[in-house]
A and B are shown apart, each in its own frame.
Chain A
Amino acid sequence: DVKVTQSSRYLVKRTGEKVFLECVQDMDHENMFWYRQDPGLGLRLIYFSYDVKMKEKGDIPEGYSVSREKKERFSLILESASTNQTSMYLCASFTSVLSSYNSPLHFGNGTRLTVT
């Protein structure tokens, strides 16, 4: 079974702090994603990555950056946290290997970030 692990379930940070959200997957998946989830807005894609050191902007990348130095790890970085970044953050992974082309996204349990 694929496991996507987000290092923190809850985080409280102050405005202006630099924040790192970590995500690790154990299935050698090529693609990894960061979403944020807000009530009434569903999930919105922040950034994704096809491979090590590759990154692509999603729908709402402003105020965020990402790092993928190893295939299994995908980090989301808030350079200077703001209160409007208080949200639930979900990491997901996916393989586009042909034999598993129709495999779903596998999600972690989320990190609930509060910026005060």
Chain B
Amino acid sequence: AQSVTQLGSHVSVSEGALVLLRCNYSSSVPPYLFWYVQYPNQGLQLLLKYTSAATLVKGINGFEAEFKKSETSFHLTKPSAHMSDAAEYFCAVSDRGGADGLTFGKGTHLIIQP
């Protein structure tokens, strides 16, 4: 069965600092991997997705993620944090692109310190 593990339920960074949110996956087949963001009182919004076309994936709002098969990782980064990045971030995996739904990690709450 596929699964994802997000390391750190809370991550705190200073405004302007590098953001690094960690995600490791487990899948028996080449996975589809996703990062979603959830702002307070809203649903989830897609940040980016990996579908084997390129290992470095660029998403919205300056975020990007790198697929590393050898490390079974798909960490999310942003070079310079902004106050508006404060939100909950979810990593998710699917072996069918999403047709059977996605398996989500437990989420990482990103806190931006002024």
Contacts and interface: CB of A to CB of B under 8 A. Distances in A.
A99 interface: no
Contacts of A94: 98-99
Majority SS at the chain B contact face: loop
Interface in B71-105: 90, 97-105
Contacts of B99: 31, 50, 94, 96
Interface residues of A, number: 28
A104 B90 CA distance: 14
Given A31-B99, A90-B43, A42 B51 contact: no
A68 to B, nearest CB: 15
17 contacts: A35-B104, A40-B106, A43-B90, A45-B102, A48-B101, A92-B44, A96-B97, A96-B99, A102-B32, A104-B46, A104-B49, A104-B98, A105-B101, A107-B36, A107-B43, A107-B45, A109-B42
A1 B99 CA distance: 19
B34 interface: yes
Nearest to B107: A42
A28 to B, nearest CB: 16
Given A43-B104, A104-B34, A4 B9 contact: no
A29 B78 CA distance: 32
Contacts of B36: 107
A94 B49 CA distance: 14
The 3 closest A-B pairs by CB, nearest first: A107-B43, A42-B106, A104-B46
A108 B43 contact: yes
A95 B108 CA distance: 27
Given A94-B98, A101-B97, A104-B34, A42 B104 contact: yes
Contacts of B98: 31, 94, 96, 103-105
A109 B106 contact: no
B9 A40 contact: yes
B58 to A, nearest CB: 15
Contacts of B32: 102
Contacts of A9: 41
B106 A41 contact: yes
Given A40-B106, A42-B105, A102-B32, 4 more contacts: A35-B104, A92-B43, A105-B101, A107-B36
